[in-house]
Amino acid sequence: MELSDIRKEIDAIDAQLLPLFIRRMDCAKKVAEIKKRDGSPVYNAAREKEILDRISAKAGQYSGAARMVYGTIFRESRALQHRMLGSGQKLRCRITAAPKEPDRVQNIACLGGPGSYSYAVLTALYPQAHPSFFSRFHDIFRCVQEGTADLGIIPVENSSAGSVSEVYGLLMQYCFSIIAAKTLNIHHCLANRTGRPEDVRSGHSKEIADRKSTRLNS
């Protein structure tokens, strides 16, 4: 078989995939109409996880890649539904109208601990502030809501793995505004006690790191 033959086969497969993708996006529109009628949220974390787990289990050696592809499809479906429902319009207006600098910054709620990516952003933006560390996004928002922290440092976007969906949901729930942003280069590594890759049998990872590291996972 020659390269031209394989390319013809790929073209034939793509010709089948595109109409199916269009049909799926059309279904997402219908879902948006029902969610608008019922007042349901766009994001359904449990259903997405269920589908991703099922896809990963069936994809064999392409499990990581399949998870990334379907994750992208889900994000595009959600984006389409948000556009149809006008989601985030009030939030965007609040962000535009928000003051660029707070009156004071003494205490900042931060995800993780010293050495975390969020802490690196905190020290870059507000080096004199006193950090309070939390393990859950919700606790950071609650801390700011109650006034025990002046600001919260939260991740909102990852160039490889996409949006941190939970954060966007909390932003809308608490009606908070984004007043500053910083781009941070993220480098993940696969680490074990022996230093030998062949000793790795299973791994533990944060979800966002797992979604970024499909080459290692596959």
Confidence of residue 171 (pLDDT cuts 50, 70, 90): confident
188 lies in a domain?
no
Q: Which of 71, 87, 103 is the last residue of a domain?
A: 87
Task: State whether 104 and 47 are in the same domain.
Answer: no
Task: State whether 107 and 45 are in the same domain.
Answer: no
Task: State whether 79 and 146 are in the same domain.
Answer: no
Task: State whether 138 and 159 are in the same domain.
Answer: yes
Task: State whether 79 and 121 are in the same domain.
Answer: no
108 lies in a domain?
yes
Tell me if the pTM is above 0.85. Answer: no
193 lies in a domain?
no
- For 70-92, what is each residue's pLDDT tens digit? 999 999 999 899 888 876 666 66
**Cα–Cα dist 44/57, whole Å:** 20
Instruction: Identify whether the C-beta of residue 10 lies closer than 8 Å to the C-beta of residue 63.
Output: no
- For 20-74, what is each residue's pLDDT tens digit? 999 999 999 999 999 988 888 888 889 999 999 999 999 999 999 999 999 999 9
**Cα–Cα dist 208/158, whole Å:** 8
39 lies in a domain?
yes
At 151, give phi and psi (nearest 5°). -145, 165
Cα torsion at 123, 149, 175, 164 (round to 10°)?
Answer: 40
**Number of structural domains found in the chain:** 2
Mapped onto helix, strand or coil, the DSSP state of residue 37 is: helix
CATH of the domain at 32: 1.20.59.10
Task: State whether 55 and 104 are in the same domain.
Answer: no
Task: State whether 83 and 126 are in the same domain.
Answer: no
CATH of the domain at 134: 3.40.190.10
Q: Which of 53, 87, 121 is the last residue of a domain?
A: 87
Q: Which domain holds residue 10?
A: 3-87
